[in-house]
Amino acid sequence: MPLVAWRWLSCERMFRTVRTHVRSKVLTGDMESDKRSIREAIEEGRCHMANDQVHDSTGFAFWGETQAGQLVSMGEEGVYTGGTVLHVSCPAPGAIRLLRDGTEVAATKGEALRYEPPGVGVYRVEVRWNIRPWIFSNPIYLRCREG
């Protein structure tokens, strides 16, 4: 049996790899208030996962804006109307893929993507940096108007 060199992963190295980036309200320094704010953001899905060892993903954003001016961010639900626009902004150039219900609907290379969705659906983003998996967003849910 051939011998293979085994390298244990240190905690430091592991914490530099996959991270959850949480988009909470501005932190105040009050521990109880800040814990509530972070917990709410996680529960509501206002976060993305990233392999920050590949490249720092700080500054990534994925949001939508309806024709009525409603802003919808990751984890949120918005009412789809014609004229709705989805936006992706990356801190560095990457291969951006926008998926609707699991199927790619738009792709580009660069730091930004703008897309006018044709209808309701669950939209999420995947980004690769130099072919390596980098950023995975939580979805934005565009739903039909109620009633």
- The pLDDT tens digits for 67-99 are 888 899 999 999 898 889 999 999 999 999 999
Determine, yes or no, domain membership for 4: no
How high is the pLDDT of residue 13? Answer: 66
CA distance 88 to 74: 11
Domain that holds residue 82: 11-143
Determine, yes or no, domain membership for 109: yes
Determine, yes or no, domain membership for 73: yes
Determine, yes or no, domain membership for 31: yes
Burial of residue 23, with CB atoms counted within 10 A of its CB: 0-12 exposed, 13-18 middle, 19 or more buried: buried
Whichever domain contains 80, its CATH number is 2.60.40
Determine, yes or no, domain membership for 3: no
The two tokens of residue 75 are 């984890």
97 touches 125 (CB < 8 A): yes
Determine, yes or no, domain membership for 121: yes
Residue with the two structure tokens 């290379």: 109
- The pLDDT tens digits for 20-46 are 778 877 778 888 988 888 888 888 888
Q: Give how far Cα 37 sits from Cα of 65, 75, 82, Å.
A: 23, 15, 33
> How many structural domains is the chain composed of?
1
Specify the pTM: 0.82
Determine, yes or no, domain membership for 113: yes
Confidence band of 63 (pLDDT split at 50, 70, 90):
very high
Using alpha carbons only, what angle is made at residue 141 by residues 140 and 145, rounded to the nearest 5 degrees? 140
Beta strands in the chain (DSSP E): 18-22, 47-51, 61-65, 71-73, 77-79, 85-100, 103-115, 121-129, 132-137, 140-143
